[in-house]
Every structure is written in structure tokens, then in C-alpha cells.
């Protein structure tokens, strides 16, 4: 088992990574001394795949399981109150309740949000089960639910007591969900670690076939990068966490235009990273070779490099984001693989012409 420590002023914790970690979860949780009754929050799919293992691995610890819908449907008011009601039903004298988020990023977000507001905060641990949540969502203490008006509109910063990452969960993940994580892994390489970027490129076959050593290195590297960034800017106040938004400006516009349905987040980020590279090149910040490298790695990992969209519509969606066009928008630009720079005030015509360039190029 590898442990990455995340050092924060008031709430340091360990990210533990290793195959079969879930099988030995109980002693690991007991060691934390965070309570004597676990409310386990999970999703339909995870529960149906892992029901027997959950029952076996938590045997000996009084607990209750709450099963929420798959996907974004878990991040609703209804799910939040299902968790809160579930906790209040078992909250009795002598019980110290803590939460276990066992699922993808959606379960992690809603479970952690519930933990952060119940009695002004109870302990929780993250056991992320998708690649995206193992390298991103499960780390860093951002919690959220969606409202009809917007995604992630209600939320808090609230750190877990520990994160337990078992790559064996990925064996039941669909290729589509695996690619959601791979796209963010490429992002980590681009923003912070060129050696890791080239590792991903050389090992694309091993990654797509879930070769344990390759997947483990990917998770460990990404988790360590995310941990470092969170340590430096826990509550997103210093602009350091902004680098995690590389590729996300266009991605959010694509998702808005596709109404969060047709194009997945990972696919939108993939195209968005290519766009960020083109825009950085137009700004004279990186060379054309960088664009080619990014295009190559995305294609190798079977990630999206082109979408058939009305680019005028996308530009419009981007311009609704006032921060981007008029206000002090912060754009994460590429210098070279492994190095980015946050810049402000990009000329509108460049934003538009780069969209056309991206459309015509691939």
C-alpha cells in the first residue's frame, strides 16, 4: 500500500492506494477512530456489483447502507435528504456516526456534502470506485449537489478523514467511464508532469487494458499531483487550484450546449485541452509540436479530438460566461508539456478564430 499525505492546516489526512485495500478496509477504518457506526452511501451499480463484498468487508462494524441512483441523479436534494434521513434514523445515544462514500465522484460529492452539514459536520471517508474519482473527485474536500439551475451550485469545502483507493474496483468499470478518468489523467501530465505525460503515451495499451502496474502508477501520480495542489490552495482562494481547469473552459461550453447529456465531461475536456493548446499557440506561448503531442496522446487513448458542433453556438455559450469574455477571466494556457500559465484578458477575435481553427484542423 502506498500512502500520500495531504497536509492541511486543520485537517491533514492520508490517501491510501493499493490493490485489495477494500478487502482490508475495516482495520484501516477502525484505526482512524472516527466513530462506531458507519452510514455507507453508494450507487445502484456499485451496490449491485459489490453487495457481497460490502457485507463481508464491513462485518463487525454496525452499519447501514443507503443506495442512490447512478450518475448525476445522485447529486440531488432528494438524495441529500435520503442520506440525512438515513443518518437521523440511526442516530441514537452512544452512537458516533460517520459516513463512508463508496462510489464514483457523484456519490463522493453528495455524501461528503451531507457529512459536512449534518450536526455542522461529522467524519467521513472516501472510497472512490471510478478512475475519475480515484484521481480527482475523491481527493480535496470539495462537496456538492446540483440544483435545476446549475451543477454543483450547493456545496462546501470539507475534508475526509482518509481516502482509500483500490484499483481493483476499476475491473467492473465500463470503457466509457474509464475514459472519463483517462482524460483528466492527461490533464495532470500536461499541467504538471511531462514524464508522466510520456508514460501515458507509451503505455496507452496497458492503460486501456487495465494492466495493474500501469494503472497503479497512473493513480499514484495523479493523486500526488492533486494532493500537492490542494495543499497549496485548499479553499481555491489563491488561484493555484485554477490550473486544474486546464481544458475546462471550452469543455464547460460544450457541456452547456449539449445540455450535459450528449457529450460526457471527459470527452468535452479532451477536446477542450486541444483547444487550450491551439489558443496557447495563437498567443505565442507554446509551439506547434505541443499541439501535435496532445492530439497524439488523446487519439492513442481513444479520447475525443473532434466534435461536430456549431462553433458559433459554442462561442455564444462561452460568451455567456462573462468572466471569460469581459471580466477578469483566468485562462489556463500551455507553455510546454508539464508547464502551464494562468493568463487573463484574451482578445475575443482570437477566442473565435481558434475555435474555427480547431474545427478545421482535425
Ligand X SMILES: NC(=O)c1ccc[n+]([C@@H]2O[C@H](COP(=O)([O-])OP(=O)(O)OC[C@H]3O[C@@H](n4cnc5c(N)ncnc54)[C@H](O)[C@@H]3O)[C@@H](O)[C@H]2O)c1
Positions that interact with ligand X (CB under 6 A)? 43, 45-46, 49, 70-72, 75, 103-107, 109, 129-130, 132-133, 136-137, 140, 142, 152, 169, 172-173, 177, 180
Between residues 255 and 293, which has the closer beta carbon with respect to ligand X?
A: 255
Between residues 109 and 293, which has the closer beta carbon with respect to ligand X?
A: 109
Q: What is the 3-state secondary structure (H, E, C) of 101-152?
A: EEECHHHHHHHHHHHHHHHHCCCEEEEECCHHHHHHHCCCCEEEECCCCCCC
Between residues 86 and 111, which has the closer beta carbon with respect to ligand X?
A: 111
Least Å distance between CB 251 and ligand X?
Answer: 12
Residue closest to 130 by CA, chosen among 182, 173, 163, 162: 173
Torsion over CA: 139, 144, 145, 151 (sign): negative
Residue closest to 250 by CA, chosen among 321, 349, 343: 321
Least Å distance between CB 74 and ligand X?
Answer: 7
Could you give the 3-state DSSP secondary structure of residue 188?
helix
- Taking the CB of residue 82, how many other CB atoms lie within 10 A of it? 19
Query: Residue 139 corresponds to which cell in the numbers above?
Result: 481527493
Least Å distance between CB 308 and ligand X?
Answer: 24
Query: Residue 332 corresponds to which cell in the numbers above?
Result: 489556463
Between residues 25 and 132, which has the closer beta carbon with respect to ligand X?
A: 132
Torsion over CA: 218, 258, 155, 238 (sign): positive
Task: Determine the Cα–Cα distance for residues 77 and 68; give it in Å rounded to an integer.
Answer: 12
Least Å distance between CB 70 and ligand X?
Answer: 3
Burial (0-12, 13-18, 19+ Cβ within 10 Å), 20: exposed
Least Å distance between CB 218 and ligand X?
Answer: 15
Least Å distance between CB 131 and ligand X?
Answer: 8
Between residues 198 and 260, which has the closer beta carbon with respect to ligand X?
A: 260
Between residues 42 and 354, which has the closer beta carbon with respect to ligand X?
A: 42
Least Å distance between CB 284 and ligand X?
Answer: 31
Least Å distance between CB 233 and ligand X?
Answer: 13
Sheet arrangement for strand 162-165 = 2-6, 13-17, 162-165, 124-128, 97-103, 37-43, 63-68
Radius of gyration of the chain (CA): 20
Between residues 43 and 79, which has the closer beta carbon with respect to ligand X?
A: 43
Task: Determine the Cα–Cα distance for residues 180 and 198; give it in Å rounded to an integer.
Answer: 19
Between residues 151 and 201, which has the closer beta carbon with respect to ligand X?
A: 151
Amino acid at each position: 500500500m502506498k500512502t500520500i499525505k495531504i497536509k492541511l492546516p486543520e485537517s491533514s489526512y492520508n490517501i491510501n492506494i493499493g490493490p485489495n485495500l477494500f478487502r482490508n478496509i475495516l482495520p484501516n477504518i477502525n484505526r482512524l477512530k472516527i466513530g462506531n457506526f458507519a452510514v455507507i452511501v453508494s450507487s445502484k451499480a456499485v451496490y449491485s456489483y459489490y453487495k457481497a463484498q460490502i457485507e463481508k468487508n464491513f462485518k463487525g462494524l454496525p452499519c447501514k447502507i443507503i443506495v442512490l441512483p447512478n450518475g448525476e441523479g445522485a447529486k440531488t436534494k432528494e438524495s441529500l435528504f435520503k442520506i440525512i434521513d438515513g443518518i437521523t434514523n440511526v442516530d441514537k445515544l452512544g452512537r458516533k456516526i460517520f459516513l463512508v462514500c463508496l462510489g464514483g465522484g457523484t456519490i463522493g460529492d453528495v455524501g461528503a456534502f451531507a457529512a459536512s452539514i449534518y450536526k455542522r459536520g461529522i467524519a467521513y471517508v472516501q472510497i472512490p470506485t471510478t478512475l475519475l474519482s480515484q484521481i480527482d473527485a475523491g481527493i480535496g474536500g470539495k462537496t456538492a449537489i446540483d440544483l435545476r439551475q446549475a451543477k454543483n451550485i450547493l456545496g462546501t469545502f470539507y475534508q475526509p478523514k482518509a481516502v482509500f483507493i483500490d484499483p481493483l474496483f476499476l475491473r467492473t468499470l465500463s470503457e466509457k467511464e474509464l475514459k472519463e478518468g483517462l482524460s483528466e489523467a492527461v490533464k495532470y501530465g500536461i499541467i504538471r508532469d511531462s514524464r508522466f505525460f510520456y508514460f501515458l503515451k507509451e503505455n496507452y495499451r496497458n492503460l486501456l487494458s487495465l494492466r495493474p502496474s500501469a494503472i497503479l502508477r497512473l493513480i499514484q501520480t495523479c493523486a500526488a499531483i492533486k494532493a500537492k495542489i490542494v495543499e497549496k490552495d485548499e479553499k481555491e482562494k489563491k488561484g493555484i487550484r485554477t490550473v486544474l481547469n486546464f481544458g475546462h473552459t471550452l469543455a464547460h461550453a460544450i457541456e452547456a450546449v449539449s445540455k450535459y447529456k450528449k457529450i460526457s465531461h471527459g470527452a468535452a475536456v479532451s477536446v477542450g485541452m486541444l483547444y487550450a493548446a491551439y489558443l496557447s499557440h495563437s498567443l505565442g506561448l507554446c509551439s506547434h509540436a505541443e499541439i501535435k503531442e496532445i492530439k497524439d496522446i488523446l487519439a492513442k487513448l481513444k479520447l475525443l479530438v473532434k466534435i461536430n458542433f456549431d462553433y458559433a453556438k459554442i462561442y455564444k455559450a462561452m460568451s455567456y460566461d462573462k468572466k471569460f469574455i469581459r471580466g477578469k477571466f483566468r485562462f489556463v494556457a500551455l507553455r510546454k508539456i508539464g508547464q502551464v500559465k494562468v493568463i487573463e484578458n484574451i482578445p475575443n477575435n482570437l477566442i473565435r478564430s481558434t475555435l474555427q481553427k480547431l474545427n478545421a484542423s482535425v
